[in-house]
Amino acid sequence: MDHADWIGVPTIVLGELWMGFGLGDRARRNERELRAFLANPVVEILAVDAEVARLFGAIAGGLRRRGAPLPTNDIWIAATSASAGATLLTYDEHFRRIEATASRILKIEEE
């Protein structure tokens, strides 16, 4: 990500991060790091709009018909990514089931 020209961050991801910060003992540090990341000029916050909602409905309906539902927030994230024409970077293998967006599944590196 250090060499990216553009990084889109869905608002749903921000909500999940803020929720997680409230559960941890490193909340202030995490909030500072997130604010610094979001201040980077290559970072764009991707909002939910009518097109994202349309894609959400199409993705969720398709998954339901195939009997492969996913967590609702993950579908919103995929729809936002698809609307932006972006590749979704994730550690979650289940994003492979969503055909509307390209997903790159990252491996968790052990320290």
Residue 111 counted as domain residue: no
Could you give the percent of the chain with pLDDT greater than 70? 89
Residue 14 counted as domain residue: yes
Residue 74 counted as domain residue: yes
Tokens of 27: 């909340």
pLDDT tens per residue, range 42-88: 999 999 999 999 999 999 999 999 998 899 999 999 999 999 999 88
What is the count of structural domains for the chain?
1
Residue 111 — very low, low, confident or very high, per pLDDT cuts 50/70/90?
very low
Residue 56 counted as domain residue: yes
Residue 84 near residue 8 (C-beta atoms within 8 A)? yes
Residue 79 counted as domain residue: yes
Residue 70 counted as domain residue: yes
Mean pLDDT of 12-39: 90
Read off the CATH number of the domain in which 63 is found: 3.40.50.1010
Residue 61 counted as domain residue: yes
Task: For 5, list phi and psi in degrees, rounded to 5.
Answer: -85, -25
Domain that holds residue 67: 7-105
pTM of the model as a whole: 0.86
